[in-house]
């Protein structure tokens, strides 16, 4: 079997799995359903992916690759300041989270797995089938690829003067990423009609971006209390 044919088979299996994960969820999906959706035998499905966990890690790897594609697309356009690229990246990232909910769920799930993986005392809580997955091992190598591009963009902004010079690129970008994750996680609560806090989603998004810009430019400054000099007499 040639490499091209193998890639095509894997693609068909992944497409079938993604549809089922979206409609039924990971736990309710069965490998024979994936095989049926891909119109190949169950045995051949297991030839490409050892088990459902391995298949889910393959989908997760695809999710990270798609996310990296967005970062690369933003970074490849020359002649723009780092701040301009950050602005576009934030908008595209938010769109990605809303338009590719399955992929984004995979990314967040992997981040959760990494919290366990990085702690030797907690690593045993990870499903052994995930740890055995060749795709999980690949994810360990590539999951910071998007972050590396983000750091490059922040560095460009510091270099061209659009981002304040005292910031550390790596800490700055990962702080921005945590803000973007938080924004996406709170969209549901913010848009819930019964909430007591009155935030309109239409003005929250530009407000979020404006605050981020102010942080990077350095226009947010702490106000020192004025010292009032007086006399007891």
Closest by CA position to 215, among listed 184, 185, 174, 172: 172
**Which pair of structure tokens corresponds to residue 232?**
């007891």
Which structural domain range is residue 106 located in?
A: 52-217
If one counts the domains in the chain, the total is: 2
Q: pLDDT by residue (tens digit) across 84-112?
A: 999 999 999 999 999 999 999 999 999 99
Q: Could you tell me if residue 218 is left (phi over 0), alpha (psi between -120 and 50 degrees) or otherwise beta?
A: left
Burial tier of 195 (Cβ tally within 10 Å: 0-12, 13-18, 19+): exposed
Q: Are 42 and 35 in contact (CB under 8 A)?
A: yes
Instruction: Looking at the structure, tell me whether residues 97 and 180 fall in a common domain.
Output: yes
Dihedral angle computed from the Cα positions of residues 151, 152, 158 and 159, in that order, rounded to the nearest 10 degrees: 160
Single pTM value for the model: 0.88
Confidence of residue 189 (pLDDT cuts 50, 70, 90): confident
The predicted pLDDT at position 231 comes to 41
pLDDT of 194: 73
Same domain, 122 and 189: yes
Residue 59 shares a structural domain with residue 168: yes
Assess whether pLDDT exceeds 70 at residue 153.
yes
In CATH, what number is assigned to the domain containing residue 24? 1.10.10.60
158 and 187 part of one domain: yes
Judge contact between 86 and 94, C-beta under 8 A. no
43 and 128 in a single domain? The answer is no
Name the band, by pLDDT with cuts 50, 70 and 90, for residue 233.
very low
Mean pLDDT of 130-137: 97
Residue 226 located in a structural domain: no
Q: Where residue 225 falls among pLDDT bands split at 50, 70, 90?
A: very low
pLDDT at 223 over 60: no
Query: Which pLDDT value is given to residue 193?
Result: 76
The answer to whether residue 156 is domain-embedded is yes
Together in a domain, 72 and 140: yes
């Amino acid at each position: 079997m040639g490499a091209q044919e193998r890639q095509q088979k894997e693609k068909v299996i992944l497409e079938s799995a993604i549809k089922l994960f979206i409609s039924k969820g990971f736990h309710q999906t069965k490998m024979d359903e994936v095989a049926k959706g891909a119109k190949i035998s169950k045995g051949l499905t297991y030839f490409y992916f050892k088990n459902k966990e391995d298949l889910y890690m393959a989908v997760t790897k695809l999710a990270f690759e798609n996310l990296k594609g967005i970062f690369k697309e933003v970074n490849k356009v020359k002649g723009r300041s780092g701040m301009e690229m950050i602005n576009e990246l934030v908008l595209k990232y938010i769109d990605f989270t809303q338009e590719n909910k399955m992929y984004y769920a995979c990314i967040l799930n992997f981040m959760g797995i990494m919290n366990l993986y990085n702690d030797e005392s907690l690593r045993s809580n990870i499903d052994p089938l995930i740890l055995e997955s060749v795709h999980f091992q690949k994810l360990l190598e590539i999951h910071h690829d998007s972050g590396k591009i983000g750091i490059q963009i922040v560095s460009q902004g510091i270099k061209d003067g659009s981002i304040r010079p005292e910031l550390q690129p790596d800490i700055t970008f990962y702080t921005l990423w945590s803000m973007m994750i938080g924004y996406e996680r709170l969209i549901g609560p913010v848009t819930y009609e019964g909430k007591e806090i009155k935030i309109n989603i239409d003005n929250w998004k530009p407000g979020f971006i404006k605050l981020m810009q102010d942080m990077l430019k350095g226009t947010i400054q702490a106000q020192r209390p004025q010292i009032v000099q007086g006399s007891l007499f």
